[in-house]
Amino acid sequence: MQKLYIHQAVSISAQGFWVGFSLPVLRENLQRYRAIDADYKSVIPAMALRRMSKITKMALWCGLTVSKNTGLDWDGIIVGTGLGNLADTEKFLNLISSPDLGLISPTAFTQSSHNTLSGQLALQLKNHGYNMTHVQRNFSFENALKDASLQCQFGLKAILLGAADEHIPLLDHLAKEAGYEEADIDKFGEGASFFQLSAEQPSEIFVRDVLVKTAGEDPLQSIGAFLEKNQVDIDSTLLISTADTTYDFKMKQRSVAELAGKYMTSSGIAVHLACSYLAQQDYQYVLVWNNHSTNGLGLILLGHA
């Protein structure tokens, strides 16, 4: 695929909020992974902010901060979310299952729609361009990134790409009922990451290739073949995974699970972290390995000039 240059990155996670490529002081082994609230009202109008759930606030804060810093009128706004607006969905499900169902407020219903994030960004930015939301479980961000690459082939120049997922207590409860261990439930995280992308305007850091495999295969073999196809040397490459297992593999490894917890689109913050390592020129390449599930995998290869 053609190179996709990354010009800006903004994230919110359990690490706090993070603007730009410089590597913040990372806090390891947190006890819980709720994202730390940013000063949302710095970019989101107070009236709109009042009705927003956390995922919308996080996504808007990140997306609008990138927009403010670039001043661009986006040709496309592309968002990936694994589970969408869970808090609003739960709220509306509770409303409609209450025994005294009378007149109910439509706010939670309208905001529960998965495209609330991309739609609100367009609304706040008065942006009439391409507007898309991808929702494919663990691979929602990878698919959004693939779409960004596709749209660049059809002439879109400035793209705002993002990922977001939120945590609600019901997830812990359901996981417990489904037999998850406490230690695994404690790892549930949330966050949002947004990027300015362009295929035309060069920058130091770029996405070189993206691969999603939907069927289970030996991951080490898939990684090996992917690096070979891209003629990338393992020794100069850092591997950032989304799950917290380390593998018996020659590459240097890092996981975002211990920094931001686990959530479906955490490969977004893994890409942000990759940008930081590449900006410092610690590595020639970073490979983001989405290994949330053993059923398939996502690979995003980033490099610096």
Rule CB under 8 A: which of 197-236 touch other proteins? 212, 214-215
Task: Tell me which of 11, 15, 133, 290 binds other proteins, using CB under 8 A.
Answer: 133
CB 188 within 8 A of CB 172: yes
Q: Identify the burial level of 197 via C-beta atoms within 10 angstroms of its C-beta, where 0-12 means exposed, 13-18 middle and 19 or more buried.
A: buried
- Binds other proteins (CB under 8 A): choice among 11, 143, 241, 276: 143
- What x-and-dash track marks residues 162-201 binding other proteins by CB under 8 A? ------------x--xx-----------------------
Which residue do the tokens 């691969």 mark? 211
The answer to whether residue 46 forms part of the interface with other proteins (CB under 8 A) is: no
| Contacting range for other proteins; rule: CB under 8 A; set: 30-38, 124-132, 192-200, 230-238 | 124-132
Residues 58-117 that bind other proteins (CB under 8 A): 77, 82-84, 92-97, 101, 103-106, 109-116
**Calpha distance 253→262 (Å, rounded):** 17
Give me the residues paired with residue 303 across strands.
206, 285
Strands 159-165 and 191-198, by their bridges, are antiparallel
Structure tokens at 75: 């040709």
Residue 249 CB, shortest distance to other proteins, in Å, is 25
Residue in 190, 189, 194 with CA at minimum distance from that of residue 124: 194
Rounded to a whole number of angstroms, the minimum distance from the CB of residue 93 to other proteins is: 4
Name the one range near other proteins by CB under 8 A: 20-28, 130-138, 190-198, 240-248. 130-138
* # chain residues binding other proteins, by CB under 8 A: 56
Query: Is 281 a residue that touches other proteins (CB under 8 A)?
Result: no
* 101 versus 183: smaller Cβ distance to other proteins: 101
Site of interaction with other proteins (CB under 8 A): 77, 82-84, 92-97, 101, 103-106, 109-116, 118-120, 122-123, 125-137, 139-140, 143, 146-147, 150-151, 153-154, 174, 177-178, 212, 214-215
